[in-house]
Amino acid sequence: MGLIKTVYNQFIVKSYKNNLGKDVIISIIARGVNTLLSLILLSFSLKVLSPNDYGVWLTVSALYSWVTLFDFGAQNTLRNVLAIDLSSKNENNMRGTILTNSFAFTLLISVIFLILSTVLFNVCDFSTLLKIKHGNKTDINNLVFISLIIFGIKLFSNNYNTILTALQKAYMAIVISVISSLCTIIILVLAYTLKQDISILNYGLAVLVTDVVFSFLLPIIYLRQMKFKYNFSLRLLNYNYFKKNLLGNNIKFFILSSLVVLTFFSTNLFIGIILSYEDVAVYNLVNKYFNIITLFSIVALNPIWTKVAMYYGTNNYLEINRLLKKTQLYFLFFILFGLTLLLFDTRFYSFFGHDKIIVGRYVSTVAMLSMLQLFYNNIYAYFLNGMNAIFIQIIGFVIAAIIIYPCYYYFCHYLQMGVLGAFLVQIIVYIPNTVMFPIFLKRQLK
């Protein structure tokens, strides 16, 4: 109880007096609602789709993580540069130049990606590439193509959510996600009521179209209500400025993002290929439950990243150290939260999985430890991101990217550990990050 009281007083009560604390608290509430809606959607999905079809959908939707690589780190760079500019008291800020060049770059790569997606659709059989043995191949190919088109549009629309984060309004991105999730559930329930059989293609269309419409329009509407001035102008396009202030950081963040995707977001694809797409459904049910830890932690860390960037821009290392201590207290609280989740895991699987999926206690325990380790690593990674000190992260993720796939094959396939092996591998490959990140951050703050 003493620990909980300390966290509450230091991180919640005192923090709420500034914009950062308000952003964190509102984000946590919004994320809680959004997590509940995602669980309802998961439960409904397993009701209308077979575990195999749901596993296929999860694998296709996970391709978005690969698509985000095509922004070449632009969103992370925009967040840092814009946050520093907004913290400046200089009236002659560079906001217009920053936004014009960033938007122009992401628009260009979005158009290129859409063209490439169209070409791939006409020359590739996606169902064969993904080794999907069951289901309608035409529907699956169409679903992958539509997904790629919508993901390409989101490459550009993500700029607006990045602006909200730089303005310390990250919670609005989550609120928008809540609205999108709620509308998606309503549409699917109505479709199921009118027509009991929902194909994987129609299911995917409902989720994807709703998401892209809301993620594009609502941030624009909110920013206009805030009277945020974009100051877009073709005369502000400046290649020299882009090359000097944006491109260099873009490349660093692109390398880091590529490594993160290779290690974090390829699990669905790998499990589907070497095990089965039903195992993908099992993995994601467990991951969805314990990922609550990660979701709530990222809610807090996103605005902290922005705040660190602002402090770093003014060389205020004292405030960065104070913020780090508060965040470390927050992690201790989540250890207790993780143990609490472990007590109710079987009830969760039974209720939301409709008893279609059986999960062992060892799988849940290792999954919980994996998520806590991820949260711990993210604390230091986000602080380093805010200081543009990402070289050590690149080293850590290079190590992980090299060993993760041999480890997956060895533990999941050779030792026949299945989904348990997947979670165990995720702990093993990130041990170097767990050791290196805190040491490097401490050196940066000296």
Structure tokens at 329: 């207290």
User: How far apart are the C-alpha atoms of 73 and 308, rounded to whole Å?
Assistant: 18
Q: What are phi and psi of 195, to 5 degrees?
A: -145, 110
Nearest Cα neighbor of 181 from 297, 347, 44 is 44
Tell if the pTM clears 0.85, that is, is over it.
no
Distant-in-sequence, close-in-space partners of 406: CB < 8 Å, separation ≥ 6 = none
Question: Which amino acid type is present at position 224?
Answer: R
Q: What is the pLDDT of residue 118?
A: 87
Q: What is the pLDDT of residue 3?
A: 43
Nearest Cα neighbor of 307 from 99, 17, 21 is 21
User: What DSSP assignment string belongs to 51-62?
Assistant: HHHHHHHHHHHH
Structure tokens at 245: 């202030």
Distant-in-sequence, close-in-space partners of 437: CB < 8 Å, separation ≥ 6 = 377, 380, 381, 384, 392, 393, 396
Q: What is the pLDDT of residues 180-189, one digit of tens each?
A: 888 888 888 8
Residue for token pair 């170097």 = 432
Nearest Cα neighbor of 76 from 253, 241, 302 is 253
Q: What is the largest CA-CA distance in the chain?
A: 64
Alpha carbon 26 to its chain centroid, in Å, reads: 18
Instruction: Determine the straight-line distance between the first and last CA of the chain, rounded to whole angstroms.
Output: 34
Question: Which amino acid type is present at position 221?
Answer: I
Domain layout of the chain by residue ranges: 2-444
Structure tokens at 211: 């998401």
- Is residue 153 within 8 Å of residue 216, measured between CB atoms? yes
Q: What is the pLDDT of residue 10?
A: 47
Nearest Cα neighbor of 286 from 355, 367, 350, 179 is 367
User: How far apart are the C-alpha atoms of 32 and 296, rounded to whole Å?
Assistant: 8
Question: Which amino acid type is present at position 340?
Answer: T
Structure tokens at 1: 């109880």
* Other beta carbons less than 10 A from residue 351's beta carbon: 12
Distant-in-sequence, close-in-space partners of 165: CB < 8 Å, separation ≥ 6 = 79, 173, 302, 303, 306
Nearest Cα neighbor of 204 from 180, 188, 215 is 188
HEC assignment per residue over 246-272: HHHHHHHHHHHHHHHHHHHCCHHHHHH
Structure tokens at 216: 């594009």
Distant-in-sequence, close-in-space partners of 11: CB < 8 Å, separation ≥ 6 = 21, 24, 326, 327, 329, 330
Q: What is the pLDDT of residue 342?
A: 92
Q: What is the pLDDT of residue 420?
A: 93
User: How far apart are the C-alpha atoms of 169 and 139, rounded to whole Å?
Assistant: 39
User: How far apart are the C-alpha atoms of 110 and 11, rounded to whole Å?
Assistant: 39
- Is residue 215 within 8 Å of residue 208, measured between CB atoms? no
Low-confidence ranges of the chain (pLDDT < 70): 1-24, 27, 64-73, 76, 86-93, 133-135, 170, 196, 229-265, 299, 354-355
Average pLDDT of every residue of the chain = 79
User: How far apart are the C-alpha atoms of 429 and 222, rounded to whole Å?
Assistant: 41
Nearest Cα neighbor of 99 from 163, 178, 195 is 163
Alpha carbon 22 to its chain centroid, in Å, reads: 21
Helix-, strand-, coil-residue percentages of the chain, each rounded to 5: 85, 0, 15
Q: What is the pLDDT of residue 230?
A: 64
76-107 exposure pattern, b = at least 16 Cβ within 10 A, e = fewer: bbbbbbbbbbbbeeeeebbbebbbbbbbebbe
* Other beta carbons less than 10 A from residue 123's beta carbon: 6
Nearest Cα neighbor of 383 from 324, 295, 296, 314 is 324
